[in-house]
């Protein structure tokens, strides 16, 4: 059984309950996992509290913590293949992506925030007899709740800054993908992370283990990545204690292609923006807006290339799209494709579950392209979180911007044009936390990351993470003359 990891040790569930983690490729049972309860949350929070109040971690210098976080990063590198295989089997992510993008990014998250905390500039204002400066003491105990779509990468996007700034954590990974978080906790302890600094509890939301992690007064910060609906529940749960919440939520991001774009860049990049990660990516460019002059040519090329993408066993290095995460999600994705057709949409390619050969045992869905919808269609407005692209034509820049911003979401935007004036103009008016011009998914971790509207509350990354995970304190000292 995969147990919780509390106070430096594998810990069985208090009430003995478990759940199963299965391979979405073929349904193989990968592990039985401790199903956390309120009592498990209580034990993890007690361990975290003790580590923060009485342990060495918060009092270490940033350089001392940096050395340990680097050692954890080295342990991740040393176990890259093992972690990548776990990630791929647990969540269906392609092995290429696990091995070459996500697990390396786990190590990068750790090293980046270790460096940032050790080297971040501070402010001091000598003003006559007064010397004023800012301290950044850690906030305390952090509840980190993460989703299944990029399990360890997103978990460490929270854990790394929290720990680097001197906090301690209780992590609850998504129940669909518990394996890498469990292994990571062992590796981190082996690399020298002190007892109780990182605790991992497994299980579900609501009244089970995750609920208490959002309502307990021993929690000083909640960092959450997941759906907008769960984000709203967590903000409400945190409100009575006034616990600060950082919430990174869903998206329905526009990808605008102007008729001056280099199509040799725009076509492959747009394919990657929706079908990379199987569309199970918060930042996906899931609303494709194409200027009318190139619309038909673009859609023909895009659909033709989409149909050629390899769907299959994510353990194969040739696979571009693995299975979707679970049956319920497959049903949801296909339900939207059916809905699109009742809303007037035309399925240009894809649109039906794949069941041939070995795909019959997994949750496989092909790259799907839908045209003919307006921006008012539910399919074009709601987050599908699967390999489904809706394509809308537009005539002018202002029309494209109006369609783009007519969304409750505001996570990301993607733009293909050779006109840099236009790019800057649109970036300034785009309702989105991130805008990419002629590229996708490039990230500088010093920049803010987050969303507007129902895509999130707050920002993380670089100094934004420091502000969230610390209690910035003003100190003023008067020098006697």
- State the residues that interact with ligand NAD by CB under 6 A: 145-149, 154, 172, 174-175, 204-206, 210-211, 214, 225-227, 230, 233-234, 248-251, 282, 383, 385, 411, 451, 456
Residue 99 gets which letter from DSSP?
I
CA–CA separation, 17 and 13 (whole Å) = 6
**Residue 221: exposed, middle, or buried by beta-carbon count in 10 A (0-12, 13-18, 19+)?**
buried
CB of 280 to ligand NAD, least distance (A): 7
- Give the nearer residue to ligand NAD in terms of CB position, either 151 or 362: 151
Region for 200 from its dihedrals, namely left if φ exceeds 0, alpha if ψ lies in -120 to 50, beta otherwise: beta
CB of 301 to ligand NAD, least distance (A): 28
DSSP string, 445-476: TTS-EE-EETTEESEESHHHHHHHHB--EEEE
Specify the length of the chain in residues: 481
CA 472 to chain centre: 26
CA–CA separation, 188 and 75 (whole Å) = 7
**Residue 442: exposed, middle, or buried by beta-carbon count in 10 A (0-12, 13-18, 19+)?**
exposed
4 close to 34: Cβ distance less than 8 angstroms: yes
Whose CB is nearest to ligand NAD?
A: 205
Percent helix, strand, coil in the chain (nearest 5)?
45, 20, 35
CB of 241 to ligand NAD, least distance (A): 14
CB of 203 to ligand NAD, least distance (A): 7
CA–CA separation, 434 and 15 (whole Å) = 44
- Give the nearer residue to ligand NAD in terms of CB position, either 65 or 287: 287
319 close to 310: Cβ distance less than 8 angstroms: yes
In the residue annotation, 123 being an active-site residue is answered as no
CA–CA separation, 188 and 186 (whole Å) = 5
410 close to 252: Cβ distance less than 8 angstroms: no
- Give the nearer residue to ligand NAD in terms of CB position, either 82 or 452: 452
**Strand 141-145 with 168-172, pairing:** parallel
Residues 102, 248, 383, 460: which is the catalytic one? 248
- Give the nearer residue to ligand NAD in terms of CB position, either 3 or 248: 248
CB of 113 to ligand NAD, least distance (A): 16
CA–CA separation, 286 and 323 (whole Å) = 18
CB of 321 to ligand NAD, least distance (A): 17
The pair of three-digit structure tokens given for residue 288, joined into one six-digit string: 């494709």
Nearest residue to 187 via CA among 73, 30, 36, 48:
73
- Give the nearer residue to ligand NAD in terms of CB position, either 312 or 450: 450
- Give the nearer residue to ligand NAD in terms of CB position, either 251 or 322: 251
Residue 239 gets which letter from DSSP?
G
209 close to 172: Cβ distance less than 8 angstroms: yes
CA–CA separation, 87 and 151 (whole Å) = 7
- Give the nearer residue to ligand NAD in terms of CB position, either 191 or 282: 282
CB of 461 to ligand NAD, least distance (A): 11
Residues 102, 282, 389, 460: which is the catalytic one? 282
CB of 116 to ligand NAD, least distance (A): 19
In the residue annotation, 305 being an active-site residue is answered as no
CB of 281 to ligand NAD, least distance (A): 7
CA–CA separation, 160 and 188 (whole Å) = 11
Give the 3-state secondary structure of residue 342: helix
Catalytic residue list: 248, 282
């Amino acid at each position: 059984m995969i147990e919780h990891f509390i106070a430096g040790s594998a810990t069985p569930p208090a009430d003995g309950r478990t759940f199963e983690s299965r391979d979405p490729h073929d349904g193989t049972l990968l592990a039985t996992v401790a199903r956390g309860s309120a009592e498990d949350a209580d034990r993890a929070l007690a361990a975290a509290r003790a580590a923060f109040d009485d342990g060495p971690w918060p009092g270490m210098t940033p350089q001392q913590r940096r050395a340990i976080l680097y050692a954890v990063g080295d342990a991740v590198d040393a176990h890259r293949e093992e972690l990548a295989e776990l990630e791929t089997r647990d969540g269906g992510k392609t092995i290429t992506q696990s091995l070459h993008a996500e697990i390396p990014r786990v190590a990068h998250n750790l090293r980046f925030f270790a460096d940032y905390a050790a080297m971040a500039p501070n402010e001091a204002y000598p003003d006559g007899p007064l010397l004023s400066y800012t301290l950044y003491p850690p906030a305390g105990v952090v509840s980190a709740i993460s989703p299944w779509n990029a399990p360890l990468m997103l978990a460490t996007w929270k854990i790394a800054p929290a720990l680097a700034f001197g906090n301690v954590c209780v992590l609850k990974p998504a129940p669909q993908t518990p394996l890498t978080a469990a292994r990571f906790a062992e590796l981190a302890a082996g690399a020298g992370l002190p007892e109780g600094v990182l605790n991992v509890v497994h299980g579900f939301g609501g009244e089970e283990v995750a609920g208490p992690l959002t309502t307990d007064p021993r929690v000083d910060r909640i960092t959450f990545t997941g759906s907008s609906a769960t984000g709203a529940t967590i903000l409400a749960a945190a409100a009575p204690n006034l616990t600060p919440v950082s919430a990174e939520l869903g998206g329905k991001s526009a990808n605008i292609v102007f008729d001056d774009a280099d199509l040799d860049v725009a076509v492959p990049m747009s394919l990657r923006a929706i079908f990379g990660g199987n569309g199970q990516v918060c930042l996906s460019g899931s609303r494709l807006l194409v200027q009318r002059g190139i619309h038909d040519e673009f859609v023909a090329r895009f659909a033709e290339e989409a149909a050629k993408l390899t769907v299959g066993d994510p353990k194969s290095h040739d696979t571009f799209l693995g299975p979707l995460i679970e049956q319920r999600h497959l049903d949801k994705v296909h339900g939207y494709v059916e809905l699109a057709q009742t809303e007037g949409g035309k399925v240009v390619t894809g649109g039906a579950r794949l069941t041939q050969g070995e795909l019959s045992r997994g949750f496989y869905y092909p790259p799907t392209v839908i045209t003919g919808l307006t921006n008012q269609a539910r399919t074009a407005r709601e987050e599908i979180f699967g390999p489904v692209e809706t394509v809308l034509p537009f005539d002018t820049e202002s029309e494209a911007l109006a369609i783009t911003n007519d969304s409750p979401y505001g996570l990301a935007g993607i733009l293909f044009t050779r006109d840099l004036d236009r790019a800057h103009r649109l970036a300034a008016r785009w309702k989105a936390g991130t805008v990419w011009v002629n590229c996708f998914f490039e990230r500088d971790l010093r920049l803010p990351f987050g969303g507007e509207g129902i895509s999130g509350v707050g920002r993380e990354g670089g100094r934004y993470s420091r502000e969230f995970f610390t209690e910035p304190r003003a100190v003023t000292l008067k020098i006697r003359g």
